[in-house]
Amino acid sequence: MEFTAEQIAKLLQGKVEGDKNIVVNCFSKIEEGKSGSLSFLANPKYTNYIYETEASIVLVNNDFVGQKEITSTLIRVEDSYKAIAQLLEIYNSITEKPSGIEKNVFIHKKAKTGKNIYVGAFAYIGKDAQIGDNVQIYPGVYVGNGVKIGDNSVIYPGVKIYYNTIIGKDCTIHAGSVIGADGFGFAPNGNEAFVKIAQIGNVVIEDNVEIGALVTIDRATLGSTIIRKGVKLDNHNHIAHNVEIGQNTVIAAQSGIAGTAKIGENCMFGGQVGIGPHVKIANGTKMSAQSGIANNIKKEDSILMGAPAFDIRDYHRSYIHFKNLDKIVKRLDELERQLGKK
């Protein structure tokens, strides 16, 4: 597929500077730009590449001011990062999608399937499962008994969805994720051994949720583990039993949320964040990578860092002393030595 600068500018309500008829047929990073590609400049750290890139078209913000000659055609937009995201979504929507039901698929006779679905080879759809319209289920997916998948959702290869899980509309679950496995529930029996507690709840994933590859979301002991609409989970996250994650919260890779924790709306967690059991996190909380939370966060829009985590400004001030701790101890030792001589 090929597009001219003029066509792209119309889609983005942008303004062309340069050759409006120049054609592109692919995307590229600005530092790897080549002729015939479209790139973008959003991060000021990459500004120097705009003078070197061979990309035919570069999206820039309206307030961008060049300091040297630029050979690429520019398209000025309000926000180049949002504009490239919009273009990528348009491109993705018009690329050919798989359709139909391939060979070697098992669909239980009591399962219900919607219109225009795709089911890849060696997929399994269990009894009383309900698959909505335009759903894509890639090869090797397991859909257990009583699972519900809403319209337009995409389930990538190797995903395992345990019984009675509910998945909303417009969701994406990437390869290898496991939804609805048993929660980690065991009780000591007094003989230095543990007895398994039956996990009879389920997982509920609301609309427009995206779950990365190799994510595990455990079913509830009782009730539901709930992922509210708009949540985005990066690869390798673990969500334990009876957790609830509020709307539009985003969690980066390798984070772990312990059982029954309640995460508010519009939170942002960096990679490898750990949340303890039964903890409640207020709306809008932001946590730096590798932060650890063992107690409730009551103040909304807090920004935290460290393990245990505390206010990021206090952390930065304290870190100056952390780095100098060895010098501080030596100074104290020297003072004590001098005072001991007196």
Helix (H, G, I), strand (E, B) or coil at 44: helix
Choose among 104, 99, 100: nearest CA to 140: 104
CA distance 140 to 158: 5
Cross-strand bridge partners of residue 245:
227, 263
CA distance 60 to 77: 6
CA distance 73 to 6: 10
User: Catalytic residue at 236?
Assistant: no
CA distance 36 to 22: 8
CA distance 126 to 111: 7
Helix (H, G, I), strand (E, B) or coil at 5: helix
The answer to whether 86 and 104 are in contact (CB under 8 A) is no
H/E element, 75: strand 73-77
How many separate helices (H) and strands (E) can be counted in the chain? 4, 40
Choose among 212, 97, 203, 206: nearest CA to 150: 206
Burial of residue 138 (CB within 10 Å: 0-12, 13-18, 19+) is: buried
Tokens of 133: 């319209």
SS3 helix, strand, coil % of the chain, rounded to 5?
Answer: 20, 30, 50
Q: Give the number of residues written for the chain.
A: 342
> Terminus-to-terminus CA distance in the chain, angstroms?
86
Cross-strand bridge partners of residue 136:
118, 154
Q: Name the active-site residue from 174, 241, 278, 321.
A: 241
**Which of the residues are catalytic?**
241
